[in-house]
Chains A and B, each alone.
Chain A
Amino acid sequence: MQKIMVCIKRVVDYNVRIRVKPDGSGVMLDGVKMSVNPFDEIALEEALRIKERGTNIEVVAVSIGVADTQQQLRTALAMGADRAILVQTDAAVEPLTAAQTFLAVAKKENPDLIFLGKQAIDDDANQTGQMLAALWERPQATYASKVEISGGKASVTREIDAGLETIEVDLPAVLTVDLRLNEPRYVKLPDIMKAKKKPLDVTSLDALGVSANVLLKTVKTEPPAQRQKGVLVKDVAELFDVLKKKGLV
């Protein structure tokens, strides 16, 4: 094991209350707090733990996004990534384009492992890792809640609807992580200072030979149907009566 690549996406912070623009053209993003996708922090944490258990393993954080995405990559460097690559673009990057871009980076970097989040909490697509694995013609282990690496293989426990499943994949492989894999470390101030000196290369989709085709056109964005505010009952007896009347118990 020599190199681990981790995909880091800049997303609206999970605490932000999302509002749809009145004209239906999208969600309001002006001035909202942006963060590293929570799943990607977990992905990076796992890569760092593997690095710390081994010797001479390099962790490379990669992102696709606007110039300000450097902020999220600096966070990744402060957490402990060795270097970062920003594929800078203002274009809307669909999962297939993101996967093609990561493939181009992977072909240059030749990582043994690529970690991604299982989904980005903005578009919730849950696609990029699987698409990257297909294009790279390598194994995928999605929704990882436990990862063990040994002898050129990864044994991965996956969170599936029925419970937990374990699969074994040959490296190199693409892993997407679930919430319970680990708890990401907090970044300390000295690490933020150190991160400023770590290399962060900026490249472009063009340089990687990828074009950001829009294959899915978003024609409208609207708020979800609102639920009516309900009633408060005063005690258990009344709760039971209401449930019974509605035939719910």
Chain B
Amino acid sequence: MHKILIVGEHDGKTLNPATAKCVTCAGSIPDGEIAIVLLGSDTAAVAAQAAAIAGVKSVLRVDRSENEHPLAAIFAPQLAALAADYTHVFGPSTSFGKDLMPRIAALLGVPQVSDLMSVEGAYRFKRPTYAGNAIVTVEADPARKLLATVRVASFQAATGGGSAAIESKSTAAALPSHTRYVGAKSGSTDRPDLQTAKRVVSGGRALGSAENFKLLFSLADQIGAAVGASRAAVDAGYAPNEMQVGQTGKIISPDIYIAIGISGAIQHLTGIKDARTIVAINKDGEAPIFEVADIGLVGDLFQIVPELERLIGS
């Protein structure tokens, strides 16, 4: 039997949907039993959410004041200790998981499979390399514990309706004091979360200014979409970093992705390969984005976007 421990991601109030996607991934490991572990200062609320995910056998709570903020240096020794009872330890390939999981792997002296995109067997997986241009099948040694981050865009979230047992855990792991949380700044928004949104409107360098990006916000709000951006747009200061889509930004899989004034560099396309429908609006008919777009329109975004908004509104 395979015992899989999933490191849950949360902000103290809400369980990140990436966790339920990890459960789906773990669910395809043959003969597996799934537990979710939550570290925090008070995980009661998120533990209840985790316990409701179908397919989860148990939820472990590790509550202590040092766990208030997700610092890898603090979390990793505790998780390395808890990993003893498991054959697999999975985390989401979000900035939280990517920061944390390799630190646990190194403490355990085992390798990590990054961005696991499909399960071919209990120790055989597919993952993307070269910005998604080469998919490799890797095989790990069953004699060792297997650590992995799960590429969340590759999996649907597991459904609700579960009723896992919740238990409190503590570890004797010594925690370092060399790493301290100072603060965070996030662009709070009422729009859907980019990583889980069904619809995404995204803008590139062509927008030309932060002011012009409002065109996209307006369209997005009209259709209930999240807003994304290319690296060029973020670098130029038109949009904040958390909106970047691509190899080094977010990898997303919405039902519809509307790319506006984005050329379609491979590093950008990596982030949207799993979108169900890609729509491209670009004034250059030769732009590479049209090679992957399902629906393309050649023209000036400054005319097209307001007109599209008007048609949708009418």
- Residue numbers of A with Cβ under 8 A of B are 12, 14, 17-18, 20, 26-27, 94-96, 99, 118-119, 121-135, 137-143, 145, 155, 158-170, 173, 178-180, 215-224, 227-233, 235-237, 239-240, 242-243, 246, 248-249
Contacts and interface: CB of A to CB of B under 8 A. Distances in A.
A163 B185 contact: yes
Given A122-B130, A130-B102, A223-B133, A139 B179 contact: yes
B92 to A, nearest CB: 10
A153 to B, nearest CB: 9
Contacts of A155: 182
A143 B181 CA distance: 15
B169 interface: no
A51 B184 CA distance: 28
Nearest to A166: B182
A164 B241 contact: yes
B223 to A, nearest CB: 5
Nearest to B76: A134
Given A180-B241, A232-B298, A139 B73 contact: yes
A236 B141 contact: no
Given A161-B95, A217-B139, A232 B176 contact: no
Interface of B: 71-73, 76, 94-96, 98-107, 109-115, 124, 128-141, 144, 176, 178-187, 195, 199, 223, 231, 234-235, 240-242, 247-248, 250, 255-256, 266-267, 273, 277-279, 285, 290-299, 303-304, 307-308, 311-312
A140 B104 CA distance: 13
Contacts, number: 241
B164 to A, nearest CB: 26
B33 to A, nearest CB: 24
B295 A162 contact: no
B312 A249 contact: yes
Contacts of A20: 133-134
A-B pairs with the 3 shortest C-beta distances? A163-B186, A134-B106, A130-B102
Contacts of B135: 221-224
A8 B312 CA distance: 50
Nearest to B139: A217
B261 to A, nearest CB: 15
A131 B137 contact: no
B183 A143 contact: no
Contacts of B242: 159-163
Given A128-B102, A139-B179, 14 more contacts: A131-B106, A134-B103, A134-B106, A140-B179, A142-B72, A160-B95, A217-B139, A223-B133, A224-B134, A228-B294, A230-B295, A243-B256, A243-B295, A248-B199
Contact of A14 (B114, B179, B267, B298): B267
B200 to A, nearest CB: 11
Contacts of B312: 240, 249
- Which of A118, A123, A165, A246 neighbours the largest number of chain B CB atoms within 10 Å of its CB? A165
B178 A139 contact: yes
B94 A18 contact: no
15 contacts: A27-B133, A96-B106, A96-B112, A118-B248, A125-B112, A126-B98, A140-B72, A143-B99, A159-B95, A161-B96, A165-B184, A217-B139, A222-B134, A223-B134, A230-B278
A239 B248 contact: no
A99 B106 contact: yes
A177 to B, nearest CB: 11
Contacts of B279: 239, 243
Contact of B110 (A170, A215, A223, A239): A215
A217 to B, nearest CB: 5
A118 B112 CA distance: 15
Given A142-B99, A161-B94, A96 B134 contact: no
B129 A123 contact: yes
A242 B273 CA distance: 21
Contacts of B71: 167
Contact of A224 (B132, B178, B185, B297): B132
A233 B295 contact: yes
A230 B111 contact: no
